[in-house]
Structure 1
Amino acid sequence: MEFTKGNNRFYKEEQGEVIAEITYVPQESQVVINHTFVDPSLRGQGVAEQLVDRVVEEMKKENKKIVASCPYVVELFKRKSEKYQSINANA
């Protein structure tokens, strides 16, 4: 799925409505992912993880680590620790 890059967020809109979104707060050498939203019609399709991966891709380019404060991202980083160990500031 393709996401639009906004101001400290990536999102997907459909018919003027946000159907998927992840937001983050930049800090000096890292960002804090603080919110993830996926419309119920998209749940169970891996969209939230795709959003996280899009932020990961962007932060790797910027050489920044990620702090997870969003409960979904905290759990994802635990569940798939090997996948995210290079970017996870909490690891």
Structure 2
Amino acid sequence: MAAVRDNKTENRFELDAGGGLAFANYRRTPSAVIITHTETPRALRGRGIASELVKGALELIRADGHKVVAGCGFVVDYLRKHPEYADIAG
């Protein structure tokens, strides 16, 4: 699986997957990254790609020393299911 990257120009995390692009839009504040929307190409849904994208985004956010704010339902659910990210959940 490809690595998640932070496309700062587009304000989104991206993951190349199966010939498509999954992404998570975000807004930055001085101390947090607010993930506002996640999207996986329709043909690739149900394969865990969005989870891989969010996991990679959370790792990048943690490495930068920021908190994350879940601004979309998918990220809310992901954080609920993965308590190992409680330390960065804002």
TM-score (norm 1): 0.80
2:69 aligns to what?
A: 67
1:86 aligns with 2:78: no
1:21 aligns to what?
A: 23
Q: 1:85 to 1:6 in 2, by over 3 A?
A: same
Separation of aligned partners in 1, 2:61 and 2:21 = 23
Q: 1:9 to 1:28 in 2, by over 3 A?
A: same
1:11 aligns with 2:29: no
Identical counterparts, % of pairs:
31
RMSD: 1.9
Separation of aligned partners in 2, 1:4 and 1:85 = 22
2:89 alignment partner AA:
N
TM-superposition CA deviations, 1:57-87 (whole Å, max 9, x none): 111111001000111111211233x132122
In the alignment, is the contact (CA less than 8 A) between 1:11 and 1:18 conserved in 2? no
Separation of aligned partners in 2, 1:57 and 1:22 = 14
TM-superposition CA deviations, 1:7-66 (whole Å, max 9, x none): 22122458xx85311111110111100010001221111111111111111111110010
Separation of aligned partners in 1, 2:63 and 2:15 = 21
Separation of aligned partners in 2, 1:13 and 1:47 = 9
Aligned length: 86
TM-score (norm 2): 0.81
